[in-house]
Amino acid sequence: MNAHCERVIGTIRREALDHLLIMNEAHTWHVLAAYERHYNEHRPHRARNQLPLGAAQQPITVHDLEVHRLLRTRILGGAINEYCYAA
Range of the domain at 70: 2-85
The pTM (predicted TM-score) of the whole model is: 0.64
User: Domain tally for the chain?
Assistant: 1
Q: Is the pLDDT of residue 66 over 70?
A: no
Q: Do the beta carbons of residue 33 and residue 70 sit within 8 Å? A: no
Type of residue found at 12: I
The H-or-E segment that residue 15 falls in is: helix 2-15
Higher pLDDT residue, 67 or 36?
A: 36
Which of the four pLDDT bands, split at 50, 70 and 90, describes residue 60? Answer: low
